Every structure is written in C-alpha cells, then in structure tokens.
Amino acid sequence: MAKKILIVDDSALVRKQLTEIISTLDVEIDTAKNGKEAVEKATSMQYDAITMDINMPVMDGIEAVKQIMEKQPTAILMISSLTTEDASITMEALDLGAIDYIAKPGTMNVGRRENREEILEKINSVSKISPRRLKRQARRAAAPVRERRRAVHREEERSVTPASDLKLTKVVLIGSSTGGPGLIEQICSSLPADYKYPVCIVQHMPEQFTAAFATRLDRASVLPVHETKQNMEILPGNIYVARGGVHMNFAKKVSGKIVVRENKNKGENFFQPSVNDMMFSAMEVFDPKNLVGVILTGIGDDGADAMVALKKAGAYTIGESEESATVYGMPKEAYDRGGVMEQLDFKQILKKVATLK
C-alpha cells in the first residue's frame, strides 16, 4: 500500500518542486497551503509523513506542528531555509516533536542530485516510523522545554570547581542524526553541575543550525555548552557541539592541552561534521580506554566503523536500541558490525551517561 505524504507550503512553486521529487517514490501526495489546512487534513486521516513550511499565512508551521503532535502524532519534516533565524525556529519545531528538516527549495539547488537524494532518503525513512514511536516522540517533546525552564533558575549551580583545575580522565563522544536533537537536549539537561568529563557531540546539521542548537543546549544545561571552533580547548565538565560544515578533530599541544582542530576536507563522508571523523580522531589523541562512544538514532551508517574501532581498542561503546530509536539506522549498523558493547534504550543511555564513573 502506497505511503501517504502531505506537503505543506504557501508557495505553489515549492509544493510543485517537492511533489516532483517525492512522487518518484511509491507514494500518494496531498498538499496544503497553510498550517490551518494542514492541521485539518492531518487530523482527519493518518499521513505517513508531512513536510511543513515555517512561515505561512493563517497559521504558521510551528503552531501546526504543535497541534498535529497533540492530536494525531505524525512524522514531520520541517522545510527550512539555511538562515540563522529559520534555524532557531526549526529547533523549536524539533522540540515540539518534528522529526527532522529538509532544505527549502531555493535555499539550495533542489535539483542537485545530493539534495534530491537527501529529501528522498528522509521522506522514505521517516514515513516508516511506527505510530507507537510517534506517540512516544510526542510525549517526550515537552520534557526538554521543562528542563530549559528549570535550568534558567539553576544558574548558580555553575559555580563549581573550575574545569581548568580538573584532569581529563574520560571523554564522552556522542553521534546522532534524524530524531537526535531532542535526545541530545535531554542528555545535556540531565548532566549534574559537578560532571567531570567533557562531552563531544556530532549532530548532523549545517553550520547555521549547530550555532542555534548549541545556544539552545546551553540554556538547557547547567554545564557550559559550546559550538566548537578552531583551537578551542577540551575541558572537563564542558559540552562541545561540532560546528556544521567542518569535521571535529582533536590535537594535543606541546603543553599537553587537547584542542579542537577543524578539518574542512570532507573526504569520503557524506556528512560534515561526521561521527566517524570525530571518533577516529579522538582515538589518535586520547587513550581509547578512556573513551565512551555513544550512537543514537539516525539515518545511514555514520559512526559505525569508528564504533567498531573504538570497541576493539578498549573503549566503552553504547548503541541505542531498536525499541527506542526514532530511526534505527546508525545504531543498527554499529551493532551489526560488532561495534556496540551495550545496546540500551534511550532512558538507560541517559542514566548511564549522567552517572558515568
């Protein structure tokens, strides 16, 4: 039976462009011109996936996502231009339960092969998410918002031992993609003020999105959260989000300090930043026995090979289970290739990372 896809955009041109691309899949396509029409259609029948524009008349995409996830949880992909303003709004939509985003036609050349492939891959993947998981996604969506509000009142908890006075013992490396931002936010908001390890994160996003994402995480966490930049020192009790458009590598200075080295060479990686690239680089600088590798939900296999190498070298590796992963792609590949020591659902991973000894 063909999947049912709803394309929501006030631009007839964008609706036409997305319809032409998505119709190459075995799907039935419906369209809506604004958020109000989208909510009416999405709550009268169950679509397998929805593409949702942000700025529309009558009702915008944010309010539409909120209402759809409350009334009829559905896999929603936001249509976002690559601007700082849209990045911030898209983060809000992800908080409300949207699964991921695709680049708005016109922002990038939608006709380019890699962009068409990304749209098709994401539509194909999110349309397979079960209603049960979507309901769980909707329930989970409100938690990070509560955590952000709570963190605002806990600013004083940041007055703990200065990170520069602590030694680097363990380093936590986390990779995620589709479905990951909300989970990353929950991890960051759950870490205590006296957490002694640096946490390095690769979430597949373009540059404008990682800046907005890091800012959002910083508001959610009692630990400082940074978007990485060249020569930034890696310190205990700090969280580092890999900047979009470059790989997050590491280097040891003569002084012994570990710093970020941005690698602009994309190499064979489809994503930049890449989970594989971060993890392989970490193995060259840190003792692998002091590394903890974590792979969360996501399309594709980024991080799988590095997780295998980490495990073989003595690192502790964790993969998200099929039961809890929104998209069981990256963690499945890591597990199938033998790179996962423990496969846990997200709640267990959350506890494991927060209480790491």
d(CA 48, CA 124): 10
pLDDT at position 132: 83
d(CA 349, CA 152): 25
Write out the DSSP string of 59-112: S-HHHHHHHHHHHS---EEEEE-SSHHHHHHHHHHHHTT--EEEEPBTTB-TTS
Task: State in words which class domain 159-354 has.
Answer: alpha beta
pLDDT at position 152: 47
pLDDT, tens only, 69-107: 999 999 999 988 767 788 889 989 988 999 999 877 665
d(CA 263, CA 240): 16
3-state DSSP call for residue 230?
A: coil
- Of how many residues is the chain composed? 357
Contact 66, 43 (CB under 8 A): no
pLDDT, tens only, 39-48: 999 999 999 9
Average pLDDT over residues 261-275: 86
3-state secondary structure 267-324: CCCCCCCCHHHHHHHHHHHCCHHHEEEEECCECCCCCHHHHHHHHHCCCEEEEECCCC
Compute the chain's Rg from CA coordinates.
20
Average pLDDT over residues 255-264: 93
Structural domain boundaries of the chain? Answer: 3-128, 159-354
Least confident span in 25-34, 150-159, 300-309, 310-319: 150-159
pLDDT, tens only, 103-138: 776 654 444 566 788 899 999 999 999 888 888 777
> What kind of architecture, by CATH, is found in domain 3-128?
3-Layer(aba) Sandwich (3.40)
Pairing of strands 100-103, 76-80: parallel
Is 50 exceeded by the pLDDT of residue 158? Answer: no
pLDDT at position 176: 97
pLDDT, tens only, 309-339: 999 999 999 999 999 999 999 999 999 999 9
Q: Which two tokens stand for residue 203?
A: 């979430």
The catalytic residue positions are 177, 204, 302
pTM given for the model: 0.88
Query: For the chain, what percent of residues have pLDDT higher than 70?
Result: 89
Least confident span in 22-26, 105-109, 238-242: 105-109
Is 50 exceeded by the pLDDT of residue 271? Answer: yes
Is 90 exceeded by the pLDDT of residue 16? Answer: yes
Write out the DSSP string of 142-187: HHHHHHHHHHHTTGGGG-SS-GGGS----EEEEEE-TT-HHHHHHH
d(CA 140, CA 163): 32
Query: For the chain, what percent of residues have pLDDT higher than 90?
Result: 72
- Better-predicted residue by pLDDT, 205 or 136: 205
- pLDDT bucket at 143, cuts 50 / 70 / 90: low
Element containing residue 32 per DSSP (H, E) = strand 27-32
Mean pLDDT of the chain: 89
Contact 217, 241 (CB under 8 A): yes
- pLDDT bucket at 169, cuts 50 / 70 / 90: confident
pLDDT at position 353: 97
Q: Which two tokens stand for residue 7?
A: 């394309």
Is 60 exceeded by the pLDDT of residue 147? Answer: no
- Angle at Cα 93 formed by Cα 88 and Cα 95, nearest 5°? 95
